[in-house]
Structures are given as C-alpha cells and as structure tokens.
Amino acid sequence: MEGVLANCIPLMPNRASYAEMYDYNFLYPSGWTQDFSYYKEAKTHLIDLILDKFSKYNTDNMVKLLDQQKKVLMEKYLTADVMFSNIK
C-alpha cells in the first residue's frame, strides 16, 4: 500500500485480500506464484507483465489507474476510522 502512495505500480496475486483491495489491472493470476515450482513456470509471464506495466508508467491511463487505486486504499484501508472500526 505504501508503494502505491509513492506512485509505484502494484502487482499482486489475485488471491486473498489483494483481490478485494486492488483493481484488476494490478492483479496477476494467483497460480503464477502459488509456490516456487509454479513461479519457475510462470517467470517469463511475470517478467513480461512487469515490463508491460513499466512501459506504461507515464501514460495518462496508468496515472489515472494509480490515482484511483490510491483513493481506494486511502478511503477504505488507510484511515484511522477504518482501522479502529476493525479492532472491535
């Protein structure tokens, strides 16, 4: 989350709470990193995805997606009110 606030492009597996917290544009198939053997098989896919996202870093669309993602994280996950309400 902190990386997104610093304008880093997140890449998260499509599993657990990541799927709820991050836009689908920032998710990759969960099986790619299910374990090390799956990672070795999917390594080139991950590299291609990273290169693709990096090549689009300064585009209007990526800037818009990052701004939207920041807003979601700030409003739903990174506020004291939300954190305190989850303690109950």
In one letter, which amino acid is 59?
Answer: T
The reported pTM is 0.85
- 57-85 pLDDT, tens digit per residue, is 999 999 999 999 999 999 988 877 766 77
Q: Is the pLDDT score of 39 beyond 90?
A: yes
- 7-25 pLDDT, tens digit per residue, is 999 999 999 999 999 999 9
The per-residue pLDDT for 32 is 97
| Contacting residues for 53 by C-beta, under 8 A, at least 6 apart | 9, 11, 62
Q: List 28's β-bridge partners, or say none.
A: 13
Distance CA 24, CA 26 (A): 5
DSSP state letter for 1: -
